[in-house]
Structure 1
Amino acid sequence: MFDLPVKEAELADLEKKSEDSSLWDDPQAGQKLMKKLADLRDEVQSWRSLEKRIHDSLELAELMDESLRPDLEKELEALEPELARREINIQLSGPYDRGNALLAIHAGAGGDDSQDWAAMLERMYLRWCERRGFETEILDVSEGEEVGIKSVTIAVNGKYAYGYLHPEKGVHRLVRLSPFDSAHRRHTSFAMVEVLPQANEEGDIQINPDELRIDIYRSSSAGGQNVQKNATAVRITHLPTGLVVSCQNERSQMQNRENAMRVLRARLLQMRHAEQEKELAELRGDYTKAEWGSQIRSYVLHPYQLVKDHRTEHEMGNTQAVLDGEIDSFIEAFLRHKTV
């Protein structure tokens, strides 16, 4: 899945192309090549640097000098998690794994409990992104009638954002004593998590403006001073597919329109890949439709404390830590499980 000499040969080829005097005749192509060159150069240099650290550690170990043991042990403690991280990164070899993502959370049936659960998931993922150093931007949010949220769409920007987030796609189930039930009975709530790659405006998806219907309306909110008096919310309908996206989080109509187009491109990209995957699966004869209700993970807060992923059987008893954003072990378990 990873061949450093091949990467170095590719880097040399890109460096040669970057010296071509005609490179900037097409500014878009030139910019794309230079970005690819910078990313590949950074990747190759980081692997060669790691290789040198390992080589130096082996040389220290061969000296059999007890006075060097503390330094060697310290370096090995630093190398171990770095190697584990790179092992995961190598598995993220899909066409969009290294890019940005759109994360959407939708409350399921169940009223206040499900809307509160959707808000808890939003907090969990925002905290996880903060830990990872990913930048986040809330593109659109629909507040719950009393508590929580009905839905939210978040742009997650950073290297490998889509690769790390895509295992979270699916139905998430919460079991707890409901704070909204006067009898304090146990309730089960569901929320759907969507993860989409952010499409490249220059090439991934081409949208004909004539195939769009754009409606402008007033933003809705829970009330009070936050209600917009001007029509700034944007709803875009893609006529050929019937896809509808809306954004109302920004005060600027132009910004809402740009955000809605980002979401539309991502959904069209997802639709295109879903159609391709369906055709391939039908040729193999094992196409299975993914349907609501087949939860990927359960978060049980009562009568015991446990978070369990049903795809990998990976589980964690510290539910509060998971809800505070410590979900790396679930993501990594899924990525490793996928390659078994």
Structure 2
Amino acid sequence: MGYENPTQTFEELSGRIIAVRDSLDYANKTGMLRELELRMGQPGFWDNPEAAQATVAELKKVKGIVGPIGDLLKRRENVAAMLELLADEEDAETRAELDTHLAVLEERVAHVQTLTLLSGANDARDCYFNIQAGTGGADASDWAEMLLRMYTRYFERIGFEFGLLSRKDGEEAGIQSCSLEIKGDYAYGYLSCEIGVHRLVRISPFSAQGKRETSFASVDVQPEMGDIEIEIDWDKDVREDTYRAGGKGGQHVNKTSSAVRLTHLATNIVATCQAERSQHKNRASARKMLTARLYQFEEAKRDTELAKYYSEKGQISWGNAIRSYFLYPEQRIKDSRTGELTADTTGVLDGDIQRFIDAELRRRVSARQKSPKS
């Protein structure tokens, strides 16, 4: 579908681009990016690992702003050039191409505008992403695997890198739980919007009577805390269990007990990693994940917004669902926090979830603005 007045649309988008460019201080951050890259190129940069990690973290945060805005400015130039061509001579092929570029530009502008909503201390960090099936046997495990597919499709859409750290298959179908490591610009900021319980209503594919079934699965997300030290006595405070990891039917089962499960004794918070064949590497990854979960546990005690999703034991509370996915009798998906609603169940389950994330980011900003200042 073409734009009735492409020039007017372009001018409106240009105004939004300039506004977001200025609000995020693009010019100053471009200079900061050059300085950080020069600093990293200096001999002896890694002689002080702690300072080097802080610089790398700052570089990543600045790149997360400079890159997307720079991309918008280039796309804006391309569209402006196409409008000039059409002003000289109307061409159906160029006009169709212009409509396509305008649609992409409009989508990218909306996405970059969400960066102005990501102001949390940890929003720019990479993160750990976890899915846990609720009670309900095969239906719940199948739903957990459907969520895993939905999110991996979303990661691919937005350009996040992801790797599976652990996975526990369901007895009949699906998965009981899984943990992934996610790397990308503002990964934690975006994915923290998905923390909570997700509810599915459908005709059970595992019921011979074709009964309607309600299934639950939880999503938990923690920022990766590579540059923050948390005091943990790994010998006294944590129990380590090792086991053999493998898929269904004995696929890829390790001959040695390379998978590692760490349990923090005081809180009973657990972190598991089975991604590597090396027990040493799995232990290192599990320790990083456990550190992140303990950090999140402490943060939830201070952050009332975050605390709503966790029980006193630091686990996702199975109280109210943040989002319901209705596949029967009608097809719709509704977010209970924001009221965001869509009938495009197929698109959402195929990873088109940005509308829900953006709506939750806007809700958070609004809630912070309304809350009384101490």
Query: What TM-score results when the alignment is normalised by the length of structure 2?
Result: 0.75
**Correspondence 1:252 to 2:278:** yes
Separation (CA, whole Å) in 1 of partners of 2:306 and 2:149? 37
The superposition leaves residues 74-120 of structure 1 with CA deviations (integer Å, 9 ceiling, x where unpaired) of: 56545322321210122112122122121111111111111111111
Separation (CA, whole Å) in 2 of partners of 1:247 and 1:21? 35
Give 1:189's match in structure 2, choosing from 198, 210, 215. 215
- Structure 1 30/191 Cα, relative in aligned 2: closer, same or farther at 3 Å? closer
What is the match of residue 161 of structure 2? Answer: 135
**Correspondence 1:155 to 2:181:** yes
What is the match of residue 231 of structure 1? Answer: 257
Give 1:26's match in structure 2, choosing from 36, 48, 73. 48
What is the match of residue 284 of structure 1? Answer: none
Percent of pairs identical after alignment? 42
What is the match of residue 87 of structure 2? Answer: 66
The superposition leaves residues 179-234 of structure 1 with CA deviations (integer Å, 9 ceiling, x where unpaired) of: 1111111111111111111121x324343333333222333654345444432222
What is the match of residue 208 of structure 1? Answer: 233
Separation (CA, whole Å) in 2 of partners of 1:98 and 1:23? 23
**Correspondence 1:102 to 2:128:** yes
8 Å contact kept, 2:200–2:326: yes
SS at match of 1:195: strand
8 Å contact kept, 2:262–2:270: yes
Separation (CA, whole Å) in 2 of partners of 1:21 and 1:226? 43
8 Å contact kept, 1:172–1:295: yes
- Structure 1 242/172 Cα, relative in aligned 2: closer, same or farther at 3 Å? closer
The superposition leaves residues 53-92 of structure 1 with CA deviations (integer Å, 9 ceiling, x where unpaired) of: 758978998x998327868955654532232121012211
Give 2:198's match in structure 1, choosing from 154, 159, 172. 172
Separation (CA, whole Å) in 2 of partners of 1:44 and 1:36? 12
Separation (CA, whole Å) in 2 of partners of 1:188 and 1:244? 27
Instruction: Provide the alpha-carbon RMSD of the alignment.
Output: 3.6
Displacement of 1:46 in angstroms is 5.9
Within 5 Å, which residues of 2 pair with 1:1-340? 2-4=24-26, 7=29, 26-33=48-55, 36-37=58-59, 40=62, 43-44=65-66, 47=69, 50=72, 66-67=87-88, 76-200=102-226, 202-210=227-235, 211-219=237-245, 222-277=248-303, 291-340=317-366
Separation (CA, whole Å) in 1 of partners of 2:232 and 2:89? 62
Separation (CA, whole Å) in 1 of partners of 2:41 and 2:152? 42
Query: What TM-score results when the alignment is normalised by the length of structure 1?
Result: 0.82
Displacement of 1:8 in angstroms is 6.1
Separation (CA, whole Å) in 2 of partners of 1:251 and 1:273? 33
Read off the aligned partner of 1:126 and give its amino acid letter.
Answer: T
Separation (CA, whole Å) in 2 of partners of 1:280 and 1:185? 35
Question: May I ask how many residue pairs the two structures share in their alignment?
Answer: 333
SS at match of 1:223: helix
Read off the aligned partner of 2:52 and give its amino acid letter.
Answer: G
- Structure 1 15/154 Cα, relative in aligned 2: closer, same or farther at 3 Å? closer
Read off the aligned partner of 1:123 and give its amino acid letter.
Answer: R
8 Å contact kept, 1:199–1:205: no
Bigger shift: residues 262-271 or 232-241: 232-241
8 Å contact kept, 2:61–2:124: no
SS at match of 1:174: strand
What is the match of residue 10 of structure 2? Answer: none
8 Å contact kept, 1:204–1:269: no
Displacement of 1:12 in angstroms is 8.3
Separation (CA, whole Å) in 1 of partners of 2:60 and 2:244? 43
Read off the aligned partner of 1:328 and give its amino acid letter.
Answer: Q
Bigger shift: residues 107-116 or 223-232: 223-232
